[in-house]
Structures are given as C-alpha cells and as structure tokens.
Amino acid sequence: MDSCASLIAEHPYRLPPLQAASSRRRTLAVGLIGPGRVGSVLLAQLRAAQERLAREAGLELKLCGVAASRRMWLDCDDPELNAQHDAQTWRPADLDQFAAHVRGEGQRHAMLIDCSASDMVASQYPYWLASGLHVVTPSKLASSGPLSRWQSIRAASQYGGRFRYEATVCAGLPVVQTLRDLLDTGDQLLSVEGMFSGTLAWLCCQYDGQRPFSALLREAHALGYTEPDPRDDLSGMDVARKLVILAREAGWPLSLHDVAVESLVPAELAEVPVEEFMARLEQLDAPMAQRLAAAQAAQGVLRHVASLDCDGRARVGLHALPAAHAFAHTRLTDNIVQFRTQRYRDNPLLVQGPGAGPEVTAAGVFADLLRIAESLEVRA
Ligand SMILES: NC(=O)c1ccc[n+]([C@@H]2O[C@H](COP(=O)([O-])OP(=O)(O)OC[C@H]3O[C@@H](n4cnc5c(N)ncnc54)[C@H](O)[C@@H]3O)[C@@H](O)[C@H]2O)c1
Ligand SMILES: N[C@@H](CCO)C(=O)O
C-alpha cells in the first residue's frame, strides 16, 4: 500500500459511506453494445465498482447483456449458466431482442451503452429513448450525424430515456458538460479553439523524424488511441465530428459538410479496405516527413488544430506553430479546449488533459452512467 492509501485506510476520521445508501436503493439494468477496446475496459470498471456502488450509493448495477457485431450474451435465471461465457450462452446478435431483454418487464430502470462505432446502432437511439431506455455512448456518430436524426434523439430524450455523450469529445475530459453548464447558467458561446485529437496530439509530440510516421501510427493504434479505422483520425473527420457536437450543444445547426477539413490521408488510400490501409501505412511517411521538415525549418512544431466560431466557421487541419505557442507545450495525448464566451471573453476557459485511450474514455462513459443513475427515482 502506498503512503497515501495507508493514510486513508488508517485515518480515524474517514468519512462514513453516504447516508442515502439504504433509502435511495435503485437498480439499473445495463446492456453493453460493442465489447471492443473501450467496451471491454468499461465492463471491467463496472464490475470493479459494482459492490462499492451498491454499498455506498445504494445503486445496484445489473449487467444483463453484451452485444458484439455478430453475437450477443443475455443473462437468464440460471446463475450457473450466467457464469459461463461460452458458446452455450452466446447467440446470434439481434439488437431488437437485446434492447427488449435489457428493458425487461415492468417499470425497471434500464440503460444501453453503445461502445461500437456503428451507424446502424446509432440509428436505433430515437426508438430506444422513446421506449424509456437510457442511452450512454462515446460514439460520435449520432451526435454529429444527420441533423434530423440528432433532432429526433433530442426530442425522444425530452420525454423518454436520458441521453448522455460526454466521452464523444476528448474522451474522459469534462468538455460537453462544461459547455452545458456555461450555457445553462446564461453564458453565450463565442468560439472554441483547440486540439481535439488524442491520436494526432500524441503523433505530433512523438514525431521528431527518428522513427517513421507509419511506425508511430501503428503504435497509437495498438495503444487504443485511434478510431477503429485510423483514417477517421488522419482525415480530420473525427475532430470535425467533435466540433459539430459542440456546435449543436450550443444550439448552432452545424453539419459535417460545413467543416473545412484538411485530410492527411493520401487520396490513393482513402477508399481501400482498412486492412489494406494498415498494410500500406508507409505511404504516409514521405509527405509527413516533408511537413515536419517545413515546421522545423521555421523553428516551429506540428500541431493538429481545430476552431469554430459563432458565425458557423469551422476548420480542422495540421499547422506549424511557433515553439512558444500554448499548444506547443502539451504532452502525450493531451487535448486542449479553449471556450471563449461572453463571461470568458478576455481570457478563455481551458480544459486540458489526456484525450484518448480506453481507460479514460471508459471512465467518461461510466461517469455519464452515474449521472443518470443519480437522477433515477426509487422504484420497487
Ligand atoms: N479509443 C478511444 O480512445 C476512444 C475515445 C473516445 C471515443 N471513442 C469511441 O468509442 C467507440 C469504441 O471505440 P473502440 O476504440 O473501443 O473501438 P473498437 O473497434 O475497439 O470496438 C468497437 C466494438 O464494437 C463492435 N461492433 C461493431 N459493430 C457493432 C454492432 N453493429 N453491434 C455490436 N457491436 C458492434 C466491434 O466488433 C468492436 O468490438 C467508438 O465509437 C469511438 O469513436 C473511442
Ligand atoms: N481517436 C480519437 C479518440 C477520442 O475521441 C482521438 O484520438 O482523439
């Protein structure tokens, strides 16, 4: 035990568990869709916290199912069978059946967590929310997809289940909620600027010409920073989606086609299957070496920067910034978000920290789950 942990364990004045635990006992049925890098870490975090949440917060999390792209696991009344994760308990995936199973009979609180990167899954949100299921996701597809679908999701979440998506922008950092709080307290957003890609932040920090860009990109993929298809990061589309999400949060009807995006993906690799793209990554090395040399010649550093203003101007691209620029001093996957608002007009409000990776992203999703759970009424 480190000294801090032992101090907490031995301290005679440790705070008692929350009083409300017994009087606010609630059960939340949870189904997870997409047990990939983020989804599987989230499952581990939920399991690790289950007992503590029941004891200290009166929240019983009941994991009732996991759906992957081709198969799903549903719990049943037989604990022995539930304990087995083998072919006997897995069955072909069927999202309607999955959602109905998690919703269950009667009035129980139920939530679907979408950790896939599937548009087909995102298109189900309006129906799930309208049926009273809560939805939490790190996937940007719904919040930055077609505006009409986004509006249906917002409408369904007004009277149905609740919808939260904090981890869609800068993973576990409190970005969407910070903007929401500013707006809800009467502030007005003027502009947002920053570095919104953990992958590109990490690549820009690591890339000094010693190792080829392609080798670093393979490493970023293995570390779980990239999107399932790393072209979503390199093309700037992942960052464009984050700008669209923030703009819509502020009530501006932005869509992806409104964002001016500079892509780093060579045209000949834009449409090939992802496996082929990964096999041909070396084709990125020469153009990226040129960008680095140009930045170094100007005594600058490469940084991937995005901006959005209240006239709807949104742009995303790679820049050579002076070494003294605030964005030049970030580390690892650090994202920076600068909100300029009426209140923070002269000196912007800053959110900064790691912006990618399964652990921090899963924790952002988990925090959304807890915020919804806090608001649930006690039901028999
Ligand atoms: N990795 C990060 O740092 C990070 C950060 C923020 C947000 N996100 C978002 O989190 C989501 C998951 O990212 P990841 O890195 O875990 O990706 P991943 O590819 O590791 O996992 C995605 C999982 O979803 C499954 N899947 C695909 N289609 C499905 C379907 N129709 N039904 C059920 N499952 C399906 C895949 O089989 C895979 O297991 C993505 O939307 C991503 O944009 C990731
Ligand atoms: N691939 C994304 C994950 C976080 O959205 C990034 O690198 O920023």
ipTM: 0.99
For residues 22 and 58, is the Cβ–Cβ distance under 8 A? yes
> Active-site residues: which are they?
242
CA-angle at 221, arms to 95 and 278, nearest 5°: 90
- Rounded CA gap, 355 and 333, in Å? 6
Give the number of the atom of ligand 1 that is nearest the alpha carbon of residue 121. Answer: 31
Out of 140, 195, 238, 305, mutate this one to test ligand 2's pocket (max ligand atoms within 8 Å of CB): namely: 238
Predicted pLDDT at 44:
94
Out of 143, 199, 239, mutate this one to test ligand 2's pocket (max ligand atoms within 8 Å of CB): namely: 199
Among 62, 60, 61, 71, residue whose Cα is nearest residue 35? 71
**Which strands sit side by side in the sheet containing 109-114, from one edge to the other?**
90-92, 71-74, 59-67, 26-33, 109-114, 134-136, 163-164
Q: Residues lining ligand 1, judged by CB closer than 6 Å? A: 33-39, 67-69, 115-118, 120-121, 138-140, 167, 171, 224-225, 227-228, 356-358, 361
SS3 370: helix
Contacts of 122 (CB under 8 A, 6+ apart): 114, 137, 139, 141, 142, 145, 149
Predicted pLDDT at 18:
52
- Centre of ligand 1 from the C-alpha of residue 138, in Å: 8
Predicted pLDDT at 24:
78
Give the number of the atom of ligand 2 that is nearest the alpha carbon of residue 357. Answer: 3
Out of 225, 234, 245, mutate this one to test ligand 2's pocket (max ligand atoms within 8 Å of CB): namely: 225
Radius of gyration, CA atoms only, the chain? 22
The closest residue, in CA terms, to atom 38 on ligand 1 is 36
Name beta bridge partners: 59. Answer: 26
Tell me whether residue 269 is exposed, middle or buried, using C-beta atoms within 10 angstroms of its C-beta: 0 to 12, 13 to 18, 19 or more: middle
Contacts of 143 (CB under 8 A, 6+ apart): 150, 153, 165, 168, 241, 244, 245, 248
User: pLDDT below 70 — which residues of the chain?
Assistant: 1-23, 77-89, 379-380
- Centre of ligand 2 from the C-alpha of residue 242, in Å: 10
- Rounded CA gap, 281 and 339, in Å? 35
Q: Residues lining ligand 2, judged by CB closer than 6 Å? A: 171, 197-199, 225-227, 233, 238, 355-356
The closest residue, in CA terms, to atom 6 on ligand 1 is 171
Helix runs in 145-197, H state only: 147-159, 176-184
Predicted pLDDT at 79:
66
Q: State how far the alpha carbon of 288 is from the alpha carbons of 183, 281, 372, in Å.
A: 39, 11, 44
Q: What are the φ/ψ torsions at residue 249 (nearest 5 degrees)? A: -60, -35
Task: Using a cut of 0.90, tell me whether the model's pTM lies above it.
Answer: yes
